[in-house]
Amino acid sequence: MPTFGRPPKLSRADQLLLTLMYWREYRTQFHIGQAYGISESAVCRTIQQVENALVASGQFTLPGKKKLQTSDTLIEVVIVDATEQPIERPKKTEAAL
């Protein structure tokens, strides 16, 4: 993370916690910003900075595409016909009889 410019309002621990809240709880950046007293754009910048730092460390990477494609899991597909069928309803004249 850059060390130049104005110092951030949040500590590094809070920046990491903010990012984890975004990833884990699926909270909006607006609501996270409200909780920390910062703007939505500051939340977005903080998340991007933390993500870039984690990727640059080399310890937090996703496996390659080929690794994700291989699977021993058998997938079974079930197709359900849920089309609408007309219902036979009694006519109004039949109900009076």
* pLDDT, tens digit, 9 for 90 and up, residues 63-81: 666 666 666 778 888 888 8
Mean pLDDT computed over 29-51: 93
Whether residue 91 is predicted with pLDDT greater than 90 in this model: the reply is no
pLDDT at 33: 94
pLDDT at 6: 81
Please give the sequence-ordered ranges of beta strands (E in DSSP) within 1-67, or none if there are none.
Answer: none
- The candidate with the shortest Cα–Cα distance to 1, out of 64, 46, 41, 58, is 46
* pTM confidence score: 0.59
pLDDT at 70: 61
Whether residue 24 is predicted with pLDDT greater than 70 in this model: the reply is yes
